[in-house]
């Protein structure tokens, strides 16, 4: 099943499937959290579940896997990619919230809308900031010629240190908390600090190096699925027996974003279960559907940015007018945002090819 030679090269379709599902789950959870009236219905739990490890966790794992298969894998390539992602992340912050908030603060003060500080909205550490920081770390690791297992060990140590430093900057001023938030969790404006989340792409890199040598992917993923299923059942059973409510790992924002050891173990068990599942899902996706999935995967960053530009500005307008949607409309609205984002991405690519 495993060969000494590299067998699998080029694009791995299960990664495309994973990324396509991840971006859809991200859009759904963003729509619900910012535009839908909260209740404790099963739908909300499902949305929050799929908006946790199945979205960000799977995306980061797939990002690490993609680092193995990309042709642009030099330290310089990774460094440039990291800088571009960081710039894209902060530009997105500015145009999805900071700019409109500044306009509201100047012209619509009477609305009473509180969108936070301008600095906080601009320096928010979201997934693009994490991706950029992760690429910078990987550029350094490549420059040092570290092997995949070494990168994994470093990421585990970073995860533990990140957990230990949570709360260390609680009393620091915002202008210190926000840049430090690129590395560790400092406040609610820190979603994906690198030290707590780098383990996901690190595991993706290790998995990718193994996958390159797999001769029989069907058998490999069947075994992986069985192992992941047993592990997930065992982890959740142990948590249940010792009185830990696993739903808190995705329903409680601080627990999720700080990725303390128990949260991390649970999230990784979900990712480990989904990757082989996506392989088998990918086997039944054919023709135009497969082309569509590959398009979403190849343009994921652009689609992600567009969906936030649409949704971010809409959120401000809705909150200014105290408007929220009932839960039943959330899925339909999410689908509309996804369709609009993909359509605008296609239009942007067409115009870019013609004029740039």
Q: Is residue 6 part of a domain?
A: no
Q: Is residue 348 part of a domain?
A: yes
Tokens of 340: 């609009």
Tokens of 204: 């993706």
Residues 6+ apart with CB under 8 A from 112: none
Domain count, the chain: 1
Confidence of residue 40 (pLDDT cuts 50, 70, 90): confident
Three-state secondary structure of the chain: CECCCCCCCCCCHHHHHHHHHHHHHHHHHHHHHHHECCCCCHHHHHHHHHCCHHHHHHHHHHHHHHHHHCCCCCHHHHHHHHHHHHHHHHHHHHHHHHHHHHHHHHHCHHHCCCCCCHHHHHCCECHHHHHHHHHHHHHHHHHCCCCHHHHHHHHHHHHHHHHHHCCCCCCCCHHHHHHHCCCCCCCCCECCCHHHHCHHHHHHHHHHHHHCCECCHHHHHHHHHHHHHHHHHHHHHHHHHCCCCCCHHHHCHHHHHHCCHHHHHHHHHHHHHHHHHHHHHHCCCCHHHHHHHHHHHHCHHHHHHHHHHHHHHHHHHHHHCCCCECHHHHHHHHHHHHHHHHHHHHHHHHHHHHHC
Q: Is residue 234 part of a domain?
A: yes
pLDDT cut 90: percent of the chain above it: 72
Q: Is residue 156 part of a domain?
A: yes
Confidence at residue 50, expressed as pLDDT on a 0 to 100 scale: 96
Q: Is residue 131 part of a domain?
A: yes
Would you say residue 149 has pLDDT above 90? yes
- Higher confidence at residue 312 or residue 12? 12
Confidence at residue 355, expressed as pLDDT on a 0 to 100 scale: 60
Residues 6+ apart with CB under 8 A from 258: 162, 163, 166, 185, 196
pLDDT cut 70: percent of the chain above it: 96
Q: Check: CB of residue 209 under 8 Å from CB of residue 68.
A: yes
Note down the domain range covering 51: 13-355
Q: Is residue 8 part of a domain?
A: no
Q: Is residue 2 part of a domain?
A: no
Q: Check: CB of residue 57 under 8 Å from CB of residue 270.
A: yes
Q: What is the pLDDT of residues 108-145, one digit of tens each?
A: 665 555 567 888 889 999 999 999 999 999 999 999 99
- Higher confidence at residue 312 or residue 146? 146
Q: Is residue 111 part of a domain?
A: yes
Confidence of residue 315 (pLDDT cuts 50, 70, 90): confident
């Amino acid at each position: 099943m495993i060969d000494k030679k590299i067998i699998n090269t080029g694009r791995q379709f299960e990664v495309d499937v994973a990324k396509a599902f991840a971006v859809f789950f991200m859009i759904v959870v963003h729509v619900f959290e910012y535009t839908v009236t909260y209740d404790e219905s099963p739908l909300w739990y499902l949305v929050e579940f799929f908006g946790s490890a199945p979205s960000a966790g799977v995306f980061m794992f797939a990002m690490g896997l993609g680092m193995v298969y990309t042709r642009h894998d030099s330290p310089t390539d990774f460094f440039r990619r990291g800088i571009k992602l960081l710039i894209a992340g902060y530009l997105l912050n500015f145009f999805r919230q900071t700019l409109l908030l500044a306009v509201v603060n100047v012209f619509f003060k009477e609305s009473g809308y509180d969108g936070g500080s301008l600095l906080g909205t601009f320096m928010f550490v979201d997934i693009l900031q994490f991706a950029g920081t992760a690429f910078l770390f990987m550029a350094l690791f490549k420059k040092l010629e570290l092997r995949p297992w070494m990168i994994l060990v470093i990421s585990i140590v970073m995860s533990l240190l990140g957990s230990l430093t949570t709360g260390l900057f609680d009393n620091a001023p915002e202008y210190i908390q926000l840049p430090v938030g690129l590395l560790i969790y400092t406040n609610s404006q820190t979603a994906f600090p690198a030290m707590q989340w780098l383990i996901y792409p690190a595991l993706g890199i290790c998995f990718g190096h193994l996958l390159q040598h797999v001769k029989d992917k069907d058998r490999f993923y069947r075994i992986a699925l069985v192992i992941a299923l047993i592990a997930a059942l065992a982890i959740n059973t142990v948590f249940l027996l010792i009185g830990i409510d696993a739903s808190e790992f995705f329903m409680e924002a601080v627990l999720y974003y700080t990725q303390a050891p128990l949260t991390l173990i649970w999230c990784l068990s979900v990712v480990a279960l989904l990757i082989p599942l996506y392989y088998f899902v990918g086997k039944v996706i054919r023709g135009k559907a497969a082309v569509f999935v590959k398009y979403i995967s190849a343009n994921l960053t652009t689609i992600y940015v567009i969906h936030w530009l649409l949704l971010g500005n809409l959120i401000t307008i809705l909150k200014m007018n105290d408007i929220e949607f009932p839960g039943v409309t959330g899925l339909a609205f999410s689908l509309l945002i996804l369709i609009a984002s993909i359509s605008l991405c296609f239009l942007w690519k067409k115009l870019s090819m013609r004029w740039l």
